[in-house]
């Protein structure tokens, strides 16, 4: 079932939330208000909200542009890199420190995939055992030797000592959107606007970059992914190792979750990152 209902009108978009278990309506409204204050024009402007309604409702301005699709190079890569940097760095540190952490932080996601991948290599199928996490419903069907190899190697990587400690260490704080779906980036030919903040909150630079570049929508769109964007962004000093591990974590999450023809490609991607 869809996580929310969307009513697109001539000047506004009305978002009605069907799921509130991660405080999605308040996260969305708070992000819109903060970005409107500190980075106006980057995201929809907040219009009104009834967070205690049934369902909770957020009304925001309607933005121009179309979801990003096709080759990501040149001006488009520049614009995405600029938007990603701007949204991550928009909030003053004093404001960022007071925000709740984004949904599904690195350590939380590691704990989820550890359980799932351990079961996957021991049997033909596995489903997520945490019903409180929306969308986290991996289903793994064995049979493809590339997928099986990727799962075995990923299981060893996920189980290694010290990985959880590395991901739990303090890192460069940024504002995280909580969703790297390429459809959340609107391109109007000159600039990028950003949508969807229901999982947003305080995060760290490496994990947010990994969220953006490893989202399955990116690789389904273009086999080169966001390589050009990542080249423009580059990790902060000392973040390279953490970024690599976060990318592996997100790639493994998607390998566990997706099915069908794209799984073999994702398995190859997992092996390359390992």
Domain boundary among 13, 48, 63: 63
- Tell me: do 74 and 18 sit in the same domain: no
- Tell me: do 72 and 37 sit in the same domain: no
Domain boundary among 48, 63, 78: 63
| Domain total of the chain | 2
Q: Tell me the backbone φ, ψ of residue 64, rounded to 5 degrees.
A: -80, 160
Domain boundary among 45, 63, 81: 63
- Tell me: do 21 and 151 sit in the same domain: no
- Tell me: do 58 and 74 sit in the same domain: no
- Tell me: do 172 and 47 sit in the same domain: no
Give dist(CA 58, CA 220) in Å, integer: 30
Per-residue pLDDT reduced to its tens digit, 6-35: 999 999 999 999 999 999 999 999 999 999
Give dist(CA 102, CA 202) in Å, integer: 5
Name the burial class of residue 121, with classes exposed (0-12), middle (13-18) and buried (19+) by CB atoms within 10 angstroms of its CB: middle
Per-residue pLDDT reduced to its tens digit, 222-232: 999 999 999 99
Nearest to 267 by CA among 176, 175, 141, 170: 141
Average pLDDT score over the chain: 90
Nearest to 218 by CA among 103, 76, 86: 76
Tokens at 204, concatenated: 């760290």
Query: Using omega within 30 degrees of 0 as the cis cutoff, is the peptide bond preceding 55 cis?
Result: yes
**Residue-level pLDDT at 35:** 98
Q: Tell me the backbone φ, ψ of residue 32, rounded to 5 degrees.
A: -65, -40
Per-residue pLDDT reduced to its tens digit, 114-153: 999 888 776 443 333 333 333 333 444 457 899 999 999 9
* C-alpha dihedral sign at 50, 202, 199, 42: positive
In the block, which residue shows the tokens 């970024």?
A: 243
Give the Cβ contact number of residue 7 at 10 Å.
11
- Tell me: do 54 and 71 sit in the same domain: no
């Amino acid at each position: 079932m869809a996580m929310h209902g969307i009513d697109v009108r001539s000047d506004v978009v009305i978002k009605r939330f069907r799921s509130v278990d991660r405080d999605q309506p308040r996260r969305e409204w708070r992000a819109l208000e903060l970005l409107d204050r500190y980075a106006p024009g980057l995201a929809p402007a907040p219009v009104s909200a009834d967070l205690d309604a049934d369902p909770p409702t957020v009304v925001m301005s309607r933005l121009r542009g179309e979801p990003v699709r096709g080759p990501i190079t040149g001006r488009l890569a520049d614009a995405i890199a600029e938007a990603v940097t701007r949204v991550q760095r928009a909030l003053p540190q004093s404001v960022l420190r007071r925000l709740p952490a984004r949904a599904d932080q690195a350590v939380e996601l590691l704990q989820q995939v550890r359980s799932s991948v351990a079961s996957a290599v021991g049997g033909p199928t596995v489903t997520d055992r945490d019903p409180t996490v929306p969308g986290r419903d991996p289903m793994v069907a064995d049979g493809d030797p590339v997928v099986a190899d990727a799962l075995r190697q990923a299981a060893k990587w996920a189980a290694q000592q010290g990985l959880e400690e590395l991901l739990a260490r303090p890192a460069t704080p940024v504002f995280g959107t909580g969703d790297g779906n390429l459809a959340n980036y609107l391109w109007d030919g000159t600039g990028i606007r950003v949508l969807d903040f229901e999982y947003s909150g305080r995060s760290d630079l490496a994990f947010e970059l990994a969220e953006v570049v490893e989202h399955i929508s990116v690789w389904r769109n273009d086999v080169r992914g966001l390589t050009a964007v990542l080249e423009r962004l580059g990790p902060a000093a000392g973040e390279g190792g953490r970024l690599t591990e976060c990318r592996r974590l997100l790639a493994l999450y998607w390998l566990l979750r997706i099915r069908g023809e794209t799984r073999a490609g994702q398995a190859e991607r997992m092996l390359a990152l390992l």
